[in-house]
Amino acid sequence: MYTPIPSKFHQRLVLGLALFLTTGAALLGAWDAPTSAQGDLSAIWQRVQQAGAYHFRADVTQLDTPQASVINAGRQNGQTKLHLEGQTDINAETLHLHLWSGGGSVQLPNSAAELKVDGQTAVIRQ
């Protein structure tokens, strides 16, 4: 069942997702990516903007390393794996995203968190 999200929360959620994606793209560029890979990424992003709509699929692995401090003594590194699938239409201002983590499986669509954004309205299902 979909639950409407209040407008301020929607704005923060969309801003957070945009910031996450922008920061991720910036960090990828900062990690000594070969010049050809940077050029390829720029060309792909330009084609995406020209097309206006696209489908996407990605596997994300986040590595968590505790900061070296007395408080964190003995803490282990962590790893979080996510799988994202969806589509977006820039001109129509729509996004439909499925996010799997932990025990979720792509073969079980209902095991994903689902986010739908349509203009100023966003709904999420877990």
DSSP 20-88: HHHHHHHHHHHTT--HHHHHHHHHHHHHHHHH-EEEEEEEEEEEE---SSSTTTTPPPEEEEEEEEEEE
pLDDT tens profile 43-70: 888 888 888 888 989 898 999 898 889 9
- Phi, psi angles (nearest 5°) of residue 41: -65, -40
Count the Cβ atoms, other than its own, within 10 Å of residue 122. Answer: 21
pLDDT at 5: 54
40 Cβ contact list (under 8 Å, min separation 6)? none
pLDDT at 123: 94
Distances (CA, A) of 114 to 7, 61, 111: 18, 19, 9
Counting as low any pLDDT under 50, the low residues of the chain are: none
CB contact at 8 A, 55 and 89: no
